[in-house]
A and B are shown apart, each in its own frame.
Chain A
């Protein structure tokens, strides 16, 4: 039973790490100067997937700037 739960937790953690990596890559493709340069060379299908992922993520990582000072 313990081996199964260790295996199960390992699996969750692997997916968690890969998920964190994927989100980072999605955002890096619009912020990383080097990756921006090679973007034209990326196959359109991958570009589209990354673009759609970015559209989904964007509302959770960006908000309008409203400067106020007391």
Chain B
């Protein structure tokens, strides 16, 4: 219990540090315009996400320099908090007054909407509890929580041997996981995802305010957001999609703000560029759909000036583009340094200068016939699709309520221009994705663009409820909300209850197929011994084992291309003492590897077996030859695979 409270407390301190850092910078940027009126939620979310982006870059550089230690992390956090309390003291009271105003508006809601609002808050909080209680799942067990675990233990950032190429991606959320795992534990790291989701929520509500959506409509926006499984699935489990969503929404928010508050236009474009850069680093597919929307808004808002004089193209179009691009590049500099330092390819995984490079970005998930089918059914695919690897849907409420626009007054109000601009940003983002990656059906890859559609539908529903007519329609809408809220809240409650009843050890043992076998290996494998892993799910292994796992090359380019008995000799030469086969990842691995067809000097014994995993030990000494590779300790926590010259890892 005490460790749980400490974990939560450290997460809160970390959240405050991100918030203070960002707010200090925004206050410094706005020193010339102290009375500028920024939306409170937008400002707080911007501070939090700006601080996040800068801290992630800091941790990344410290990791590259092998000085990512607990003491340095705490020193930076404490410094930020101290400066924050001093510099931001006067802003606290103003913010408190604005919060009280918002609470007054909530009190004016009718009883049914107060009940709905309480349900929404209960749902959001249940996701917070679940994010803390849940364990890393899926890809997080293979990479997103594994790299931070190793970084926190070894105190430096290096690519994981078994996912070497994949380590070229941008690392933002992972850096926060590493910092929190270093100063607290993995539960704190997962809870941080929920706080980032709250920031994404705040940006969405701030965009709702731009459309003059009232409190009721903002509650509708919350319901649609938290019934979108492509968002809620990633509030726990250790993946980083929510970070991309928050940064993407921040970029959208600030480009819209640039043309709402002309006094601070350049500053808003600076922030939009920075958040676009952080968005690329956090989840690079997002940026491909966010960027076109930003440029569209710049052109749209200056179109009439351009029509009057073509000379206006530089100050009105090109200059704002340059501001966005310049600060986008500034935000991605640490990422470029990381890829240059670790892979000698700063532009990886997009462009490879010195090597052929892995082309894993150019992928497709369906046959061309099925791709055409999916494209023809796109709104339905996004809201109801159950395609393999899809990872959730945008809320069906968007599809259900969008046609209500026929009864909405949106098109007659002054907000209609903003409405169409946001709609255009959504459509152009989706169009870009369809054009460049039609064969990849994954709403999470274009999450900020899809979430941007939520305020549009919230506005439509808000308009319906301002009218005195349409009683039955309103009842049906409220019924839909209640059904969605009840099922989602119940689902979270059921999962949390099950996890708490099982207890952490059993939840891990029965909830994650790789946990038990990993626990066995953690007890069996001595320090310095290597494990050959024919599998992806490695999170529960000790950090030293993780650092000396089989590399991608050893597994894919060598072992998988060999048959028995050659493969056993190879594994011996590379210094492996154990071989793990995860049947869910590589069901056919054992078909070409016969443990009975082995060299006489090598003993192969099955030492563990469950329905999902088999583990073999490899013992013996090759005549006249020692292994070419071994796992060497660099210090008490950092390990590396070292091979004799000529041998490859």
CB–CB B373/A32 < 8 A: no
**Residues of B with C-beta under 8 A to A58:** 386
What interface size band does chain B fall in? 35 or more
CB–CB A13/B404 < 8 A: yes
CB–CB A25/B483 < 8 A: yes
- B506 interfacial contact with A, CB 8 Å: no
- Tell me, rounded to whole Å, the shortest Cβ–Cβ distance linking A70 to chain B: 4
Main SS of the interface on chain A? helix
CB–CB B490/A34 < 8 A: yes
- B466 interfacial contact with A, CB 8 Å: no
1/0 contact string of A3-22 vs chain B (CB within 8 Å): 00010011001101110110
CB–CB A17/B477 < 8 A: yes
- Which A residues from 42 to 70 make CB contacts under 8 A with B? 57-58, 60-70
A21, closest chain B residue (CB): B480
- B470 interfacial contact with A, CB 8 Å: yes
Most chain B beta-carbon neighbours within 10 Å: one of A16, A61, A70: A61
Report the count of interface residues on A (CB-CB < 8 A).
Answer: 35
CB–CB A34/B380 < 8 A: no
CB–CB B363/A68 < 8 A: yes
**Which of B364, B389, B407, B494 meets A68, CB within 8 Å?**
B364
- The stretch among B30-38, B394-402, B525-533, B619-627 that forms the contact with chain A is B394-402
- Tell me, rounded to whole Å, the shortest Cβ–Cβ distance linking B35 to chain A: 45
1/0 contact string of B489-500 vs chain A (CB within 8 Å): 011111100000
A34-B492 contact in complex given A9-B407, A10-B472, A67-B364, C-beta closer than 8 Å: yes
B493, closest chain A residue (CB): A34
CB–CB B403/A13 < 8 A: yes
- Tell me, rounded to whole Å, the shortest Cβ–Cβ distance linking A16 to chain B: 6
Whole-angstrom CA separation of A21 from B365 in the bound complex:
29
A60-B473 contact in complex given A20-B399, A67-B364, C-beta closer than 8 Å: no
**Residues of B with C-beta under 8 A to A66:** 364-367, 370
A65, closest chain B residue (CB): B388
Whole-angstrom CA separation of A37 from B297 in the bound complex:
47
Whole-angstrom CA separation of A31 from B599 in the bound complex:
48
**Which of B365, B387, B483, B493 meets A61, CB within 8 Å?**
B387
- Tell me, rounded to whole Å, the shortest Cβ–Cβ distance linking A60 to chain B: 7
CB–CB A10/B364 < 8 A: no
- Residues of A at the B interface (CB closer than 8 Å) are 6, 9-10, 13-14, 16-18, 20-21, 23-25, 27-28, 31-35, 37-38, 57-58, 60-70
With A18-B476, A65-B389 known, 12 other A-B pairs at CB within 8 A are A10-B472, A13-B403, A35-B491, A61-B387, A63-B366, A63-B374, A64-B366, A64-B388, A65-B366, A68-B363, A69-B363, A69-B364
| 9 A-B contacts (beta carbon < 8 Å) | A13-B406, A16-B400, A32-B487, A35-B490, A38-B490, A60-B380, A61-B386, A65-B388, A70-B362
